[in-house]
Amino acid sequence: MVRILGSCVALALIIVLAAPFAHDAYRRYEVAQRLKPLMNEHDQAAWRDWNGDAVSFGRSLYEKCELTNGQGSPSCEAYRSAIQ
């Protein structure tokens, strides 16, 4: 009985510790799928080397687009919607 209870506690602990990593991996995948059609080759290479979270990468692309096209540019809306 103690062995079964210990196994359940260990499994619950593993799930609790793995949940944040799984959530971050899913969020990264989700944002990458939305950003993929918007990125050029250079952006895709930067994405592969990116160590931060997905939203901050998308935010940097959005800010780069605003610097290039002007603040509030309609062409940058796709980036903004991808990171939300």
Which tokens go with 65? 């687009």
Predicted confidence (pLDDT) per residue in 9-39, tens digit: 999 999 999 999 999 889 888 888 888 888 8
Mean residue pLDDT across the chain: 89
Residue 55: band (very low, low, confident or very high) from pLDDT cuts 50, 70, 90: confident
Tokens 């080759």 locate to: 41
List the domain boundaries for the chain: 24-82
Percent of the chain with pLDDT over 70: 100
Report which of 23, 18, 67, 64 is spatially closest to residue 42, judged by C-alpha positions: 64
